Amino acid sequence: MKPDYKNWVPKGLIYGMFAATALTLVCFLIFGVCGLGVHGSVRVALGAVFAVACLVCAKYAEWCIHAYKAFSYEGERKLSRQIVEGTAAYITLPEGGRGLDVGCGSGALTIACAKRNPQGTMVGIDRWGKDYASFSLPLCEKNAKAEGVINTEFQRGDATKLDFPDESFDAVTSNYVYHNITGADKQKLLLETLRVLKKGGVFAIHDLMSPARYGDMEEFARQLKAQGYEKVELIDTTDGRFMTPKEAKRLMLKGSTLLVGRK
């Protein structure tokens, strides 16, 4: 049995964009080219609208296919695997320690960290909402079983308000989660995650930490150091570490950054 970590670009999105492209093309041909039931300026306007819509849908469909191939765990590029394993490399648990993966999705990062730390336990939490309906708690458990990993736990949780006391974990991690939480202050989300980290614990959080989303992260790192954190480092993962700048731009992953360190 093989694990199924899914693809960050759902097949449904690809099919939907192809359908939208076909529909707008048909509408362009019917109203813009043939002028069925419309004439003059109305025909021109409808033709222009559907032509532009068709081009936009086609372009996005092309991007979806490219991204799907890049993120596939079974494809040639395997970008998702590289990111997950690269993030997990920063997580170390002590004997009997516990780590937390916020927004675990299909369990990929939780399991990768658990495999690197058989002496401890990794806990993966997620809300598993309709936005990513193909991800679920049973899927995470199935993937852990497929990988032969027994030191994982999965449960529902909310990244904006973690249901754990302060300093509950020896490590905390997350991958491409917080930028999806609309309306939330991203630095506050980071502080909520770090709240449950024990003194001396390690953290590795990977996300699209652009200034527009996260504000001044250099200042945030300085504030953590001022609070007594042993180590805080911001690592640009688009410099060839996980992907090239060109690839990051094409996949809309500009700003991908690892926040790593020790409390």
Compute and round to an integer the Cα radius of gyration of the chain: 22
Q: Do 162 and 180 fall into the same domain? A: yes
| Cα–Cα distance, 174 to 190 (Å, whole number) | 10
Mean of the per-residue pLDDT values of the chain: 95
Q: What is the pLDDT of residue 94?
A: 98
Tally of domains in the chain: 2
Q: Do 114 and 234 fall into the same domain? A: yes
Is residue 67, in this structure, part of any structural domain at all? yes
Burial (CB count within 10 angstroms: exposed 0-12, middle 13-18, buried 19+), residue 74 = exposed
Using the CB atoms, write b or e for 112-147: b if 16+ within 10 Å: bbbbbbeebbbbbbbebeeebeebbbebbebbbeeb
List pLDDT tens digits, range 220-235: 999 999 999 999 999 9
Domain range enclosing 153? 79-262
From 48, 71, 94, the end of a domain falls on: 71
Q: Do 122 and 248 fall into the same domain? A: yes
pLDDT band at 1 (very low <50, low <70, confident <90, very high): confident
Q: Do 142 and 241 fall into the same domain? A: yes
| Cα–Cα distance, 30 to 49 (Å, whole number) | 13
Contacts of 220 (CB under 8 A, 6+ apart): 187, 190, 214
Cross-strand partners of 99: 122, 171
Query: Average pLDDT in the 89-111 region?
Result: 98
List pLDDT tens digits, range 104-146: 999 999 999 999 999 999 999 999 987 777 899 999 999 999 9
Is residue 1, in this structure, part of any structural domain at all? no
List pLDDT tens digits, range 249-258: 999 999 999 9
Query: Average pLDDT in the 13-34 region?
Result: 94
Q: Give, for 126, the enclosing helix (H) or strand (E).
A: strand 121-126
Q: What is the pLDDT of residue 51?
A: 94
Q: What is the pLDDT of residue 134?
A: 85
Is residue 186, in this structure, part of any structural domain at all? yes
| Angle subtended at Cα 105 by Cα 92 and Cα 59, rounded to the nearest 5 degrees | 120
From 71, 87, 116, the end of a domain falls on: 71
pTM over 0.85: yes
| Cα–Cα distance, 21 to 44 (Å, whole number) | 19
Q: What is the pLDDT of residue 119?
A: 98
Q: For residue 205, give the nearest of 88, 31, 64 by alpha carbon.
A: 88
Q: Do 54 and 83 fall into the same domain? A: no
Is residue 189, in this structure, part of any structural domain at all? yes
| Cα–Cα distance, 96 to 122 (Å, whole number) | 11
List pLDDT tens digits, range 157-210: 999 999 999 999 999 999 999 999 989 999 999 999 999 999 999 999 999 999
Dihedral angle over CA of 118, 135, 252, 178, nearest 10: -70
Is residue 2, in this structure, part of any structural domain at all? no
List pLDDT tens digits, range 34-81: 988 888 999 999 999 999 999 999 999 999 999 999 999 988 999 999
Q: What type of residue is 45?
A: A
